[in-house]
Structure 1
Amino acid sequence: MNIVFYDFETTGRKKWFDQIIEVGAILVDGNLNEKDRIQLRCRIKPGVVPSAAALLINKTSVSSLLKESRSHYQMIEELRSKFLEWSPAIFVGWNSIKFDEDLLRQALFQNLRPPYLTNTHGNQRADIFPVAHAMSVFSPNSLVVPRKDDGKPSFKLDDIAPANGITDFEAHSAIGDVKATIEMAKLCREKAPTVWERARIAMDLNKIKETVQKEKFFCFFTFFFNKPQVYAGAYTGQNKRNEKEIALFDLKYDPEELFDSSVENLKKETTGTRRKIRTISINKFPILMEGKYAENNNKEYRDIGVAVLEERAQKVRENQNFHEKVGEALALQLEERIEEGAQKPKYLEERLYDGFASKRDEYLEDQFHEAKWDEKLGICSDIEDDRLRRYGKRMIFYESRDSLPPKVRKEVEEDIWMRARGIAEGDESKKPDELQSQFSKSMKELDDERESAFKENDQDKLDRLEEIDQFYIDLQKQYENLS
């Protein structure tokens, strides 16, 4: 099966509001040897307020943001075409599950394309960042984890790769980070084969379901304030409303104390630092090790002993009524989160996961892409999903604004302005100066970076910050003219 390593450079870390500005991806074979690659850059979209720190880190100038030959739409279309050409494949990154994936889905959705490219078309996902975490916990001699000035471990790619002898890459360029990620994957495969094999299981939903339900109990981990927290858990059901969220009973506790609990009380046991029921999302690449690793890495389980852990696990696994109640408790908890989220004002960009497009809207999306620019508005107006309808109008505005009637063009500009100034849907009655706008946040960040540059007497950095400062001023004036 093909394997695709990829990375994005972005305008910032706000995955709902920032955008991809550089793409790097390398297709490799099963032995991690390169077969093909793609490297793309694009212009910034109107309404995006870039982070000064991000532009400094990825060495992106304002002039390149404004003058790149490709638009964001054109770049994402090229990337989508290449990813589909390489499919089916395993798509791999560094912290990609929690960051790059959302940015990719957001970009596809905003361009009126199906967002779940990397886990449809026979594709699977993996992430070397949690693999490195697992190596540090379960195979510590296989990985050098550098320390920051405060003594805390650093898993940043530009720190951990050189610490392990990987230096032939340009950090914070998309293709450079891809090369480093491939080398980190090779390191794991060679030096921590047990972790690598468990990571391979985590790529496949069917295999991980089988593992969870077949093994007596297993070991899983989280990182909390840069410290690993290792647990021994036994399968105890799945969310009734989301089959990809499964429950694991923490075997440091006696399960019989909960077997007769009500659904409402079980719901309480799924929250808090000492919760007895923990959950994992099997579609987010959880690395589950054999149960023996919990005893090796956590004194509480070692003191309990493997015989008692196995006995507790057996009781949990056999109690189907308990599984049912736990599944209902998780479903109830999910319903409460959905209801709470529905009551909060949201920006359009935060509504990616508010539902799937209908078959009719998917058909209209295809028609939209096939039509000429002056024909797209009519198709866009027929789309039922208001998210897609608004994104369609924005896309016409970005790519061919003269194709929009003046009234519609004004509406789209104001739509972008509301988001850029920090006004969420449901808060339209509030004045912009009553909210902490993205502009003011960005200006504060710029001032902090400027103060640092003065202390370091870094004239090059000061010059770049001056360019960014002027860009912020010009951008703010542009939208203030609409008010």
Structure 2
Amino acid sequence: MAFVLYDVETSGLNRRFDQILQFAAVRTDLLETDRFETRSRLMPHVVPSPKALQVTGLTLADVNSADRQSHYDMVCEIASTLAAWCPAIFLGFNSIRFDEEFLRQAFYQCLHPVFLTNTNGSARADVLNLMRAATSLHPSVIKPGEDGDGRPSHRLGPLAAANGIFTDKLHDASADVDAMLALCRIVRAGAPDLWSNFLRFSSKAAVLDLVRDEGAFAYFDYFGTPRVMHFLTRVGVSPNDANAHYCLDLTCDVDALRKLDADELAERMKQEPRPVRRLKVNGSPLLYQLWDIDPERFGDTSEDELTRTASSVRADAEFMEALTAAAASVEPVYTASEHVELQIYGGNFFSDADRELCQQFHGLPWERRPEIVGRFGDQRLKRLARRLIYFESPNLFDEANRRIITGDIAARRRGTGVHVSPPWTTIAQAIAELETMDGDVSEAFRTAFLDLC
């Protein structure tokens, strides 16, 4: 299966309310076979972060240029290209937390299949996790980068430089893809077993097979306390998310946990080191079977001891149910949002009928797309489709409705008309951020933002 390495540059860090401004991808088997890059201008309601533009070397004039295609046209181009490259393993740098969430949000807002990167035979994994594992487990293969204060860094730029990969274009999506590709080649050549494991668990099915079938297994977590390698056994599944599996840390005091009542067990779940980990089986975790672990990684325990403890836990259905209930009881509860951007994972998946209507929507001339809007069963799609029509062809709305929508966009940019502080960047927030950058930006850059007022 081919790999697709991709990267995004965005208007800010908010994965729900900012937008992609640049997208680049390379299709490869670690020898490049195809390349794609595209850019878009700002959507009318999005106020960019001044710091985000400064990092990417862009100005307001750049991202509002008529020479750039619309966000909708860019996303349609991305969706078409990536679909043609599927099935593939999609790789990015910090992509599962950042780039892929931006990509999913873009697909969602533009009525394309949200889960393109991990459905229909495709899988996904995060190169940042691969690099953390390589520097921790194979330090002779990959060296960590170095921050300005001398501390180890896994940011892409310093990491690439530390390993002899140099670019004169930082925070450019295409250059970042090339840096990722070069780092992946180093790991594949120098740590083939790690590379193989990394690819294996890009598949949700492979993760499920291991955590269900292995009594005890190891999980690499760079931020784990106190180790990077954790020894786990699965005890249950979150009632709120079928992809979240609860796994007991086999090095904790299991006998002490057995003696706790329900309330005490729930309280223990909040204390570090936490006895139960929430493992996302669709999040490409880096897992190992115990016999693949170097003996020194076991510390004060052993493979045999971990296996015996796991067997005793899995033979105790009542204890596993208590652990699952306690872990579920401390999960955060999220209330439904009025903002359509925050409803991406709310409610049910779109119906087959609505997915078919989305395809029809993309294929029709703009003047015929309004007739699709009323046929959507899902209210999210109705709101998003109506917004797309206004952004792309506002003349299809009568003057009264255009005035209403224009007023709504202006109010959103100002942050007025919402009950609480808006979760997106407003003009006032952008100006406040700009003030913290005094001396770091040109007068023209500064004036352009001030003119938003």
What TM-score, normalized by structure 2, do the two folds share?
Answer: 0.90
Given the alignment of the two structures, is residue 14 of structure 1 paired with residue 14 of structure 2, yes or no? Answer: yes
CA apart distance, 1:328: 4.2
Partner of 2:342: 350
CA distance in 2, matches of 1:256, 1:225: 22
1:227-268 deviation line (CA, Å, top 9, x unaligned) = 964422222222244332112111222323334655555444
- Percent sequence identity is 31
SS class of match (2:449): helix
Q: Please tell me whether the aligned partners of residues 133 and 222 of structure 2 are also in contact (alpha carbons under 8 angstroms).
A: no
CA distance in 2, matches of 1:250, 1:474: 55
Partner of 1:471: 448
Residues 110 and 119 (structure 1), Cα distance of their counterparts in 2 relative to 1, 3 Å cut: same
1:308 partner letter: E
Q: Please tell me whether the aligned partners of residues 105 and 116 of structure 1 are also in contact (alpha carbons under 8 angstroms).
A: yes
Q: More deviation in 257-266 or 274-283?
A: 257-266
Q: Please tell me whether the aligned partners of residues 232 and 294 of structure 1 are also in contact (alpha carbons under 8 angstroms).
A: no
CA apart distance, 1:109: 0.8
CA distance in 2, matches of 1:436, 1:236: 39
CA distance in 2, matches of 1:349, 1:199: 32
1:294-321 deviation line (CA, Å, top 9, x unaligned) = 9735xxx623444433321221233334
Residues 142 and 215 (structure 1), Cα distance of their counterparts in 2 relative to 1, 3 Å cut: farther
Partner of 1:37: 35
CA distance in 2, matches of 1:144, 1:48: 39
1:208-229 deviation line (CA, Å, top 9, x unaligned) = 1222233342332434499964
- For structure 2, the 5+ residue unaligned runs are none
SS class of match (1:141): coil
Partner of 1:385: 378
What is the RMSD of the two structures over their aligned residues, measured on CA atoms? 2.8
2:4 partner letter: V
Partner of 1:363: 356
SS class of match (2:221): strand
Q: Please tell me whether the aligned partners of residues 152 and 226 of structure 1 are also in contact (alpha carbons under 8 angstroms).
A: no
CA distance in 2, matches of 1:402, 1:159: 49
CA apart distance, 1:34: 0.8
More helix by share: 1
Given the alignment of the two structures, is residue 449 of structure 1 paired with residue 415 of structure 2, yes or no? Answer: no
Residues 228 and 101 (structure 1), Cα distance of their counterparts in 2 relative to 1, 3 Å cut: farther
Residues 58 and 130 (structure 1), Cα distance of their counterparts in 2 relative to 1, 3 Å cut: same
CA apart distance, 1:332: 4.8
CA apart distance, 1:166: 1.2
Q: More deviation in 212-221 or 89-98?
A: 212-221
Given the alignment of the two structures, is residue 394 of structure 1 paired with residue 382 of structure 2, yes or no? Answer: no
Q: Please tell me whether the aligned partners of residues 254 and 312 of structure 1 are also in contact (alpha carbons under 8 angstroms).
A: no
Q: Please tell me whether the aligned partners of residues 17 and 424 of structure 2 are also in contact (alpha carbons under 8 angstroms).
A: no
CA distance in 1, matches of 2:187, 2:267: 38
CA distance in 1, matches of 2:408, 2:120: 34
CA distance in 2, matches of 1:236, 1:154: 35
CA distance in 2, matches of 1:159, 1:257: 44
CA distance in 2, matches of 1:191, 1:87: 28
Residues 289 and 436 (structure 1), Cα distance of their counterparts in 2 relative to 1, 3 Å cut: closer
Partner of 2:307: 310
CA distance in 1, matches of 2:368, 2:271: 54
Partner of 2:401: 408
Q: Please tell me whether the aligned partners of residues 231 and 294 of structure 1 are also in contact (alpha carbons under 8 angstroms).
A: no
CA distance in 2, matches of 1:437, 1:12: 8
Q: Please tell me whether the aligned partners of residues 238 and 323 of structure 1 are also in contact (alpha carbons under 8 angstroms).
A: no
1:94-147 deviation line (CA, Å, top 9, x unaligned) = 111110111111111111122111112221101110111111222222211122
CA distance in 1, matches of 2:372, 2:429: 37
Give 1:248-267 correspondences, 5 Å limit: 248-259=247-258, 265-267=264-266
What TM-score, normalized by structure 1, do the two folds share?
Answer: 0.85
Partner of 1:279: 278
Residues 59 and 415 (structure 1), Cα distance of their counterparts in 2 relative to 1, 3 Å cut: same
